[in-house]
Amino acid sequence: MSDQEFTRALGYANAAFDLLKRSGIPPYPQFYELLYTYATGVNPSLNTRLNSIFRGGEKPSSELAETLFNEFLKSDMTERMSSVSERMHARIEAVHDAIDTAMSTASSYSGSLQSATGDLEGDLSDEDMKALAARLLSETRRMQKTNLELEKRLEASRDDISLLQRDLDDVRRESMLDPLTKIANRKSFDEGLADALVEARDTNTPVSLIMADIDHFKTFNDTYGHQTGDQVLRLVAMTLKSNIKGKDLAARYGGEEFVAVLPYTDLHGAVIVAENVRKAIQAKELLKRSTNEKLGRITASFGVASFNPNDNAVSLIERADRCLYAAKHAGRNRVVSESELVDIVEAPKDASAA
């Protein structure tokens, strides 16, 4: 974690604890998560609701916090996973029951065959032979019926398991997407970057990282409202995603920050990609959907770093983050790569860098 990221996270944490203390809400993990999320601003719907509550003079309570947590943060993934698990368990139990029945029937049939073998070795009358044949025929039919039932149950289980697999795939995909922008979320980014670094080491190929931050987003959000802010976040996300290709991964890093992992791309190539994204964002003029009011243009700043043999995920992110802050302090709306860091003198860090 870079110094800048640590400072941001600490600020969010302090704000969350301050809100907990002032509201008299116990600092249970779910309530801390609720107010930490509010402090980051990554869930605009939650912020709109809480801001309305604060403006209305209502003092938050544990009950209200629980309600908000369940509404905005408690994912239905757990319930869906539980449902899939229960269905899988029921299907496995059904298969086990069918197999047990088939094994029991097979064992009985085997016993009947052994008994018949012993009888055949003796001197049987015609009537005894007919009775033995009838008994074996009955046992054979029972065995056929059991096998047919087992086949049907296995066929049904195969179809159901296919549906369960699709449900699990859907849940996993949703768990890896940012709900607002519909691009990869932080968890997906962490996994994607880790995989890209492993591949880069194994194949001795380059991989680069782009970090982007929307300039003056907080001011824009405060001026035009969270719904318009959401529109901006989606716009930047889609612009980033549309300017990468192949195995590249675009993700929302948090708040108004975005990242892109570019396997098989060196620093020079990554800078070109970042410049293309920067220009594409700057070229788009925003309109407020409800009124068609022109809101002007937005810009973003970019930091670019490339993997080296001594890197891990943390060190690569820290270098890209330093480049991003260098771009902010150098005037925003620009791309700074790690090769340029030595030529840029960073100004003191303050809130205006957002």
Give the mean pLDDT of 225-232.
82
Report, as an integer, the average pLDDT of 101-113: 72
- What's the pLDDT at 37? 84
Q: How confident is the model at residue 312 (pLDDT cuts 50, 70, 90)?
A: very high
- The confidence band for 213, taking pLDDT boundaries of 50, 70 and 90, is very high
pLDDT for 348 equals 42
Laid out side by side, the sheet with 249-254 consists of: 249-254, 257-263, 207-214, 300-306, 335-337
DSSP state letters, 266-303: -HHHHHHHHHHHHHHHHHPEEEETTTTEEEEE--EEEE
Q: Looking at the whole model, is its pTM more than 0.85? A: no
Whole-angstrom distance, CA of residue 257 vs CA of residue 246: 22
Under the banding of pLDDT at 50, 70 and 90, the label for residue 55 is: confident
- Alpha carbons 97 and 79: distance in angstroms, whole number: 27
- Residues written for the chain: 354
Cα-based distances in Å from 154 to 140, 150, 203 = 21, 6, 43
Could you give the 3-state DSSP secondary structure of residue 303?
strand
* 142-187 pLDDT, tens digit each: 877 877 777 777 777 666 666 666 766 666 666 778 888 889 998 8
Residue 211: predicted pLDDT:
97
Q: Which residue has the higher pLDDT, 87 or 337?
A: 337
Half-sphere exposure of 305 (CA within 13 A, CB side): 26
Q: pLDDT: is 188 or 136 the higher one?
A: 188
Check pLDDT > 70 for residue 26: yes
**Range of weakest confidence among 36-40, 107-111, 170-174, 319-323:** 170-174
Confidence of residue 89 (pLDDT cuts 50, 70, 90): low
Average pLDDT over residues 302-321: 94
Q: Which long-range contacts (CB under 8 A, 24 or more apart) does 49-53 make?
A: none
256 is an active site residue: yes
Instruction: Tell which wins on pLDDT, 1 or 67.
Output: 67
Domain 186-353 has CATH 3.30.70.270: yes
Could you tell me if 225 and 179 are in contact, meaning their C-beta atoms sit under 8 angstroms apart?
no
Q: Name the token pair of 285.
A: 């003029």
For residue 297, the cross-strand partners are 285
Q: Which of 139, 256, 257, 338 is catalytic?
A: 256
Q: Is the pLDDT of residue 353 over 50?
A: no
Asked if the model's pLDDT at residue 320 lies above 60, the reply is: yes
